[in-house]
Amino acid sequence: MHLERLTGQETLARAAGLVKIYRAAFGGPPWREDERAADVLAARLTTDVRRPGFAAVLAGDNDGPAGFGTA
């Protein structure tokens, strides 16, 4: 497993992949988030990357992206 810190622009460039991870993590039980929740995440990223101190981390392995976090 490796971690990669993303800039705001890198986060936006990878937003589709982050939304895909979100859907996989939260689409099933116990959360059962629907497509609207994933759309909200995508929109929120567009706003969040402009905030002072924004940080994002992408976790991955040889199979590709595995998770992410933003703050």
Q: Is residue 51 part of a domain?
A: yes
This prediction has a pTM of 0.87
- Say how far apart CA 53 and CA 61 lie, in whole Å: 26
Number of domains in the chain: 1
pLDDT of 55 strictly over 90: yes
> Mean pLDDT across the stretch 32-45?
92
Is 65 strand, coil or helix?
strand
pLDDT of 68 strictly over 90: yes
Q: Is residue 9 part of a domain?
A: yes
Q: Is residue 66 part of a domain?
A: no
pLDDT of 30 strictly over 90: yes
Q: Is residue 71 part of a domain?
A: no
Domain that holds residue 41: 2-60
Q: Is residue 38 part of a domain?
A: yes
Q: Is residue 37 part of a domain?
A: yes
pLDDT of 63 strictly over 90: no
Give the pLDDT band (50/70/90) at residue 40: very high
Residue 23 in tokens: 């859907």
